[in-house]
Amino acid sequence: MTNSTIFNSLDNFEIESAIVMIDGTEMYYDDRYKEIKSAFQAGEISKEEFCGRTQAIFLEVFPGHVQQEKTVLELVREGEIKKALDVLENNYPDALLLKARYNQGEKKFNLGLIDADEWQSIKNTIGVWCLGKILK
């Protein structure tokens, strides 16, 4: 589960699944969220109001996470693996090791020590790791 999954659930008014996902995060402890959740469950506010207010809190509690996940996904899709690693390296120390592996593979490819298929395989493996970090 990713933060963007939660955000998308709220955006699509999938309230029950959003509540289950949010209750598994630190946002569960936010007093504003507790108040909104209670008001919704008591029928005091509409699902649209619940989703809108919850999204606002979500963006405060998890600043930048949704955007980071979208950026990494777009970069991997475009084949920009090295740039995706740049985005992830602040939150995942393993990204530095994979960046070194990427650089080594690129160097070997440019020197003609490995063929295009092997170089693509290296990039694909690293790309899958990047996606795995954001699509948990």
Query: Which domain, by its residues, includes 42?
Result: 3-63
pTM value?
A: 0.52
Can you give the pLDDT at residue 70?
62
87 & 53 share domain: no
Q: SS3 of 76, please?
A: helix
DSSP string, 33-56: HHHHHHHHHTTSS-HHHHHHHHHH
pLDDT average, residue stretch 39-48: 86
Pair 84, 127: CB distance under 8 Å: yes
Can you give the pLDDT at residue 134?
72
Q: How many domains does the chain divide into? A: 2
50 & 94 share domain: no
71 & 130 share domain: yes
Cα 62 to its chain centre, rounded Å, is: 11
Last residue of a domain, one of 46, 63, 80: 63
Q: CB neighbours of 81 closer than 8 A, spacing ≥ 6?
A: 75, 102, 123, 126, 127, 130
